[in-house]
């Protein structure tokens, strides 16, 4: 029977085990942490995720989407909270399209359960990978608890061990001509838990992603099924008036929240007491190439870790599984050929999802307050509503389609320029009434936009 | 007495030991290789170097320039060799300005001698650094020959262990928020030794850097004091008609040299026999930040390794010593403050020398054959001759001044645009005679160019 090794039982590793089982592979899945299902530990730092089209597609292909859907909360758009307490709703798509808030721990646990229940995946916890022999397909491990060293040999090795992949660091990064970069952005983040009301109800509108956009920094909140919200404050570490280094005392924190997020502060006056519940974490874009060497390959964050601002990190990793599964059928047992095709196809998409993520930070924290930006969004949305098959806004391409990320990025740039001209040439403004806007769109379509 | 540890006894490490000795520091200098002075081993891959202004300045500041000058060969310009055998001379500067060809082994050995002879530097060879405790200023080593492990504690640690710095890899690269990138270019290189004539004379003009520019690839040659030339072929590894992967058999090599470098082939018909004397090596740009942590700092290639096309790698590393020595005086024993100032000042220059190096590859292998480029070079040179204090071409800023690299890069871009306009606006062409050109320059200067 064909044997596969997967290193890292995070979201991508656990899902990929299910794929490999279905393809007839026996899988040994190694994880350096303890079994998260038996412990109240968080799997990595970020505990909130949003599943969108690509994620569901990858889950549904192996029949596990519906299990995950049970604990997923649809978010139909963003609600922006201004300093004066006013809010505005910005739908993500049309016809009730949504992205879905899920708990990382919950989805990861279910994927491990499903992999294990097939009888074809064996999970090994507390197993730290210490190195690889990529010529012989051998992975070396040390057990974190008992210190025993062991190794495993298989037909193929998948590294799904995340942004700071040990496999990449211990083996690929030492190869000649391996290009690699880790670039930290100026900003860090801190998670904050906004509890449910005492009756278990939500303190904010449940079916939305909440943003408090403040230009150089922002607070966001995503709903959890227990009525709480997982909130995240993104801001520079230092060098700015508002930065983490200037939030040292409880007074600093209270003053900051009262001034910048007064409505949030009212919901959570205990903010200063809970401040140290979570650390301040850093954010990096990690790029590398190639993604494979012989029968060893990087998938998910190990290949293309991104910043979280488009909510596409997990979705891109899950899409790696979709693509790899297709190529696996095509190349049969020629893993080297399969991996060469995979990295050729996916690398431009990994780069693009990173570029898109960085762009979207600016949109979330700043542009969402810009009337020109919102006018353009409104016009784009209306064109999309009237001509849904002919015009897809960038956000829809990324979140509600499986158009390749790099195509979406390029097409998005082109559309952005076209749309700016369109608005200018037709004198569209916030005072343009809906009927006039529709007339302009109907007249123009098929001529200027999609000539 | 104050104690310093230097890891890596290459060019920068050895020179920096001399600087530290003069500042009253006792230095332990560790090197993973054997003593190059007792062995016929090469210090790293590239054996040819060009010293220009910044290098001499750093050497002269500690009185070792004249020792190195004895074995340095001035190169007053480039000689370009065309396929038809014709050549053209392109001076580097004015008034006999030159860059100087030196042997890496020779200069490195002399610097080690000088450091050692002070009685203040102790050299430890075969000593592989295995890690650092940057909180305690402890460096850990393993002896390559006897396997003994040992450690050293000092006031300050300098990592001058090159592009693939162990210190950086084992310690800094593991720190949170350490940005890092290693980007390999598409091209590799192979060294070729063109021997002297049997009477010891040079087979090519001695006092020049020879280039065979062929668009996507090039051959260069630098003189050695024994009458030989160290030549280097730069070309893509693969994916092009002319690439290393297409030079497999002796026939491939002979056909390639006969066709593309016929004059060189005549000088060295044994090229195919000597082909495997040197390996094909890769080329990378390595960027990182920060360059220090507490009392540990990166200098030279460990901080900002570049591709060799501007001949500035060693010069930039030596300039690190000049700058560090100045800051050392200013900050006295506050190493953390000194290193923070050093990295703030030098990081933009490290980035710039890398950008300049990549730019210059294009100039050397391709643009040097472009009439428009050469016309612009001619005009710039003439302006520089007529107004030497008022106008410095980019090459002169980089090679014959210590203007900061990032200033040279920015100023160079600006001048390039201005010069293109100047040539266009005044209708200057290759048919413009010298007198007319001088008139145009005299009329324009003080108005358009330096308003």
Q: Does B239 contact chain A (CB < 8 Å)?
A: no
Given this model, what pLDDT does residue A166 score?
Answer: 93
**Average pLDDT, stretch A292-314?**
97
ipTM topping 0.85:
no
- Average pLDDT, integer, range B322-338: 95
Report how far residue B268's alpha carbon sits from residue B144's, in angstroms, rounded to the nearest whole number: 39
The rounded distance, in Å, linking the Cα atoms of A238 and A224 is 31
Parallel, antiparallel, or unpaired: how do β-strands A77-81 and A209-213 relate? parallel
Q: How far apart are the first and last CA of chain B?
A: 55
Maximum distance among all Cα pairs of chain A, rounded to whole angstroms: 73
pLDDT band at A445 (very low <50, low <70, confident <90, very high): confident
Average pLDDT over residues B7-11: 97
- Pairwise CA distance, residues A15 & A5, whole Å: 13
**CA-wise closest residue to B304 among B254, B351, B243, B263:** B351
Report the pLDDT value the prediction gives residue B445, as an integer from 0 to 100.
Answer: 82
Residue A286 pairs with which residues in a beta bridge?
A182
Cβ neighbours of residue B161 under 8 Å, at least 6 residues apart? Answer: B7, B8, B10, B13, B32, B129, B167, B168, B302
Contacts of B181 in chain A (CB under 8 A): 179-183, 287
B93-103: average pLDDT? 95
Q: Residue A48: pLDDT band by 50, 70, 90 thresholds?
A: confident
| List of residues 6+ apart from B180 with CB closer than 8 A | A180, A181, A182, B168, B173, B286, B287, B288
Nearest CA in chain A to B289: A183
The tens digit of pLDDT for each residue in B165-184 reads: 999 999 998 899 999 999 99
In tens, the pLDDT along A219-258 reads 999 999 999 999 999 999 999 999 999 999 999 999 999 9
Enter the tokens of residue B348: 């933009």
pLDDT at residue number A163: 95
Look at residues A250, A237, A238, A242 and name the one whose alpha carbon lies nearest to residue A214.
A242
Cross-sheet strand order for the sheet of A48-51 = A48-51, A99-103, A73-75
Whether A433 has its CB under 8 Å from any CB of chain B: the answer is no
Query: Which of B34-48, B180-194, B325-339, B371-385 has the lowest average pLDDT?
Result: B34-48
Q: Judge whether residue B402 has pLDDT over 50.
A: yes
Residue from B336, B277, B368 nearest B79 by CA: B368
Within 8 A of B183 by CB-CB distance, chain A residues are: 179, 181
* End-to-end CA gap in chain A: 55
Contact in structure between B342 and B323 (CB atoms under 8 Å): yes
* CB pair distance less than 8 Å for A179 and B182: yes
Of the candidates A115, A107, A109, the residue with the CA atom closest to the CA atom of residue A23:
A115
Query: Which two tokens mark A417?
Result: 């320029």
pLDDT at A1 over 90: no
Whole-prediction pTM: 0.87
Residues of B in contact with A183 (CB under 8 A): 179, 181
Average pLDDT over residues B236-251: 96
Span(s) in chain B for CATH 3.50.50.60: 3-36+104-181+284-360
- Measured CA to CA, the distance from residue B183 to residue B288 in angstroms comes to 11
State yes or no: pLDDT of A312 exceeds 50. Answer: yes
- Cα-only R_g, chain B: 23
Which of B197, B208, B235, B39 has the alpha carbon at shortest distance from B126?
Answer: B39
| Interchain contact B176–A (C-beta under 8 A) | yes
Token code pair at residue B120:
């203040």
Closest CA to B301 of B15, B12, B7: B12
The partner residue sitting opposite A177, judged by closest CB among B177, B178, B184, is B184
Quote the tokens at residue A392: 């897809």
Asked if residue B449 has pLDDT above 70, the reply is no
The pLDDT score that the predictor gives to residue A44 is 44
> Given this model, what pLDDT does residue A41 score?
54
Counting residues of chain A whose pLDDT is more than 70, the rounded percentage is: 97
Nearest chain A alpha carbon to B183: A179
State pLDDT tens for residues B13-36.
999 999 999 999 999 999 999 999
* A239 contact B CB<8A: no
**Does A182 sit within 8 Å of B183, measured CB to CB?**
no
Read out DSSP for B72-121?
Answer: -EEE-EEEEE-TTS-EEEEESSSTT--EEEEEHHHHHHHHHHHHHHTTSE
B3-36+104-181+284-360 homologous superfamily: FAD/NAD(P)-binding domain (3.50.50.60)
Q: Give me the residue from B177, B184, B282 closest to A282, CB to CB.
A: B177
Q: Which chain A residue's Cα is nearest to B187?
A: A177
Is B235 in a helix, a strand, or coil?
strand
Average pLDDT over chain B, rounded to an integer: 94
Residue B130 has pLDDT above 90, yes or no: yes
What CA–CA distance (Å, rounded) separates A240 from A419? Answer: 34
pLDDT at B43 > cutoff 50: no
How many angstroms separate the CA atoms of A395 and A90, rounded? 12
Mean pLDDT of A120-138: 97
Q: If pLDDT is split at 50, 70 and 90, which confidence band does B447 have?
A: low
Per-residue pLDDT for A347 more than 60?
yes
Q: Report the share of chain B in percent with pLDDT over 90.
A: 93
- Residue B448, pLDDT > 70, answer no
């Amino acid at each position: 029977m064909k044997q596969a090794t997967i290193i890292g039982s995070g979201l991508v590793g656990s899902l990929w085990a299910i794929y490999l089982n279905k393809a007839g592979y026996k899988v040994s899945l190694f994880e350096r942490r303890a079994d998260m299902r038996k412990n109240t530990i968080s799997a990595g730092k970020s505990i909130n995720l949003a599943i969108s089209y690509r994620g569901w597609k990858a889950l549904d292909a192996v029949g596990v989407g519906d299990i995950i859907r049970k604990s997923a909360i649809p978010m139909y758009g963003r609600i922006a909270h201004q300093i004066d307490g006013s809010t505005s709703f910005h739908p993500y798509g049309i016809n009730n399209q949504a992205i879905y808030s899920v708990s990382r721990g919950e989805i990861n646990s279910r994927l491990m359960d499903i992999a294990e229940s097939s009888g074809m995946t064996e999970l090994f916890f507390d197993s730290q990978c210490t190195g690889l022999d990529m010529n012989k397909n051998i992975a070396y491990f040390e057990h974190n608890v008992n210190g025993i060293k062991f190794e495993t040999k298989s037909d193929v090795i998948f590294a799904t061990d995340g942004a700071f992949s040990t496999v990449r660091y211990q083996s690929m990064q030492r190869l000649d001509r391996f290009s690699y970069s880790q670039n930290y952005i100026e900003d860090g983040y801190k998670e904050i838990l906004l509890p449910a009301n005492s009756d278990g109800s939500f303190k904010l509108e449940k079916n939305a992603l909440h943003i408090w956009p403040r230009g150089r920094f922002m607070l966001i909140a995503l709903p959890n099924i227990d009525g709480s919200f997982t909130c995240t404050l993104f801001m520079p570490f230092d060098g700015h008036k508002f930065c983490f280094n200037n939030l040292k005392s409880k007074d600093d924190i209270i003053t900051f929240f009262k001034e910048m997020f007064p409505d949030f502060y009212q919901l959570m006056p205990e903010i200063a007491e809970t401040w140290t519940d979570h650390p301040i974490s850093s954010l990096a874009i990690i790029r590398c190439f190639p993604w494979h060497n012989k029968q060893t390959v990087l998938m998910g964050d190990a290949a293309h870790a991104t910043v979280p601002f488009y909510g596409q990190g997990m979705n891109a990793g899950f899409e790696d599984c979709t693509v790899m599964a297709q190529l696996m059928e095509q190349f049969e047992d020629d893993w080297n050929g399969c991996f060469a095709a995979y990295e050729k196809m996916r690398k431009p998409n990994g780069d693009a999802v990173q570029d898109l993520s960085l762009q979207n930070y600016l949109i979330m924290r700043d542009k969402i307050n810009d009337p020109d930006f919102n006018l353009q969004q409104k016009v784009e949305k209306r064109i999309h509503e009237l001509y849904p098959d002919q015009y897809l806004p960038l956000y829809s391409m990324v979140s509600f389609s499986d158009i390749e990320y790099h195509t979406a990025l390029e097409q998005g740039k082109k559309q952005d320029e076209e749309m700016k001209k369109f608005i200018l040439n037709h004198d569209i403004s916030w005072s343009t009434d809906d009927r006039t806007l529709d007339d302009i769109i109907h007249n123009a379509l098929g001529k200027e936009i999609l000539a």
